[in-house]
Amino acid sequence: MSEATRQIARAAALARLHVPGAPLILFNVWDAGSARAVAEAGAAAVATGSWSVAAAHGFADGEALPVDLAIANAARIAAAVELPVTIDFEGGYAGDPARLADHMALLLATGAVGCNLEDRVIGGTGLYPLPAQARRIEAMRRAAERAGIPAFINARTDLFLEARAEDHDAALLDLAAERSRAFADAGASGLFVPGLADERLIARLCAASPLPVNVMQRPGVPPPARLAALGVARISHGPGPYRLAMRALADAARAALLPTGGCAPPLIG
């Protein structure tokens, strides 16, 4: 089987894993080593988190990580595992649809078969107007079609991150459902709604969205079994795994560096 055929098969497999009521669990990674660890733990697919990737390379989130480095890191991850790989591509490092399509082509050339695309204006304020974001998604879909890869484009809306929790209401949910319909028409494969935690709103969005819904697990969000019952098709963990790993590393470092009896700790050969 050629590499192109394998990539197409992985893209199809990633799409099949998005089942409302039996969600795909993504424990987000940041480099080839963490990707291998998660794959060996039994993951069905591997996904990065942009915050984690940026932090691991010494950058802030929000496309401060240079796009060339983001692409190179994606290539190392895709080469490290046999699973479908989807990349948190933030805003695609471009506002212009044509340039966005170029970046999508570069990303697919790494072997990745999916990506997240935000509707937040990175480096600006607010969200892209719906027609503009639809054109951006269309450009990414056309790039994927030219590459011959049925890529999973996970269209993210920051409506719930931009609004205060007390403003998460039926009107905001209607806006999210409207975006989901427009994103689906533009060629998106899934809808990512970070910040959404209310059970009633999650259930309503899952029922109204033509796209499988992705919720981010964090404090205040229902547990996975409940999210499954609400109709969620994908659960991601965002920066949580990276923070967990760095906390364990810091704890181990403090223990190793703690003097014992006034002497330096022994070296581990």
Three-point CA angle 82, 86, 89, nearest 5°: 145
pTM (two decimals): 0.94
Residues 223-265: tens digit of each pLDDT: 999 999 999 999 999 999 999 999 999 999 999 998 764 455 5
**At what angle are helices 67-80 and 32-40 packed, to 10 degrees?**
30
Q: Which domain holds residue 98?
A: 3-16+23-246
Closest to 33 in 3D by CA, of 59, 19, 53, 60: 53
Q: Would 34 be classed as within a structural domain? A: yes
Quick one: tokens of 221?
């969000």
DSSP 17-71: T--TTSPEEE--B-SHHHHHHHHHTT-SSEEB-HHHHHHHTT--TTT-S-HHHHH
Q: How many structural domains does the chain have?
A: 1
Coil/strand/helix, residue 86: strand
Phi, psi of 257 (to 5 degrees): -90, -5
Q: Would 266 be classed as within a structural domain? A: no
Q: What does the pLDDT read at residue 260?
A: 67
Any idea what the CATH number is for the domain that residue 220 is in?
A: 3.20.20.60
The four Cα atoms 43, 45, 46, 47 give a dihedral, to 10 degrees, of -120
Q: Would 257 be classed as within a structural domain? A: no
Residues 96-142: tens digit of each pLDDT: 999 999 999 999 999 999 999 999 999 999 999 999 999 999 999 99
